[in-house]
Amino acid sequence: MKALQHLKTITHHKLKVTWLCFRCHLFKQGILHDLSKYSYIELKTGFTYYQGYRSPIDAEKEEKGYSLGWL
């Protein structure tokens, strides 16, 4: 369930940013924005640390002291 919620959250964010970029005629930036969120490392972090009210990256940093998605 956490995996689906995380995918829903990042997809909603991506679509909203893409729409706003398109309104400003920033087509390339809109399409490329946050594609790394769908990479294996960031998805794994998101699935593991998803809480629904803050970034999974922050939760990983608190637990491990670093985040692989940010390295």
pLDDT attached to residue 1: 85
* Number of domains making up the chain: 1
Domain that includes residue 34, residue range = 2-70
Q: What is the pLDDT along the chain (71 residues), one digit of tens a residue?
A: 889 999 999 999 999 999 999 999 999 999 999 999 999 999 999 999 999 999 999 999 999 999 988 88
pTM metric for this prediction: 0.84
pLDDT attached to residue 69: 83
27-65 burial, b if ≥16 CB within 10 A, otherwise e? eeebeebeeebeeeebbebbeebbeeeebbbebbbeeee
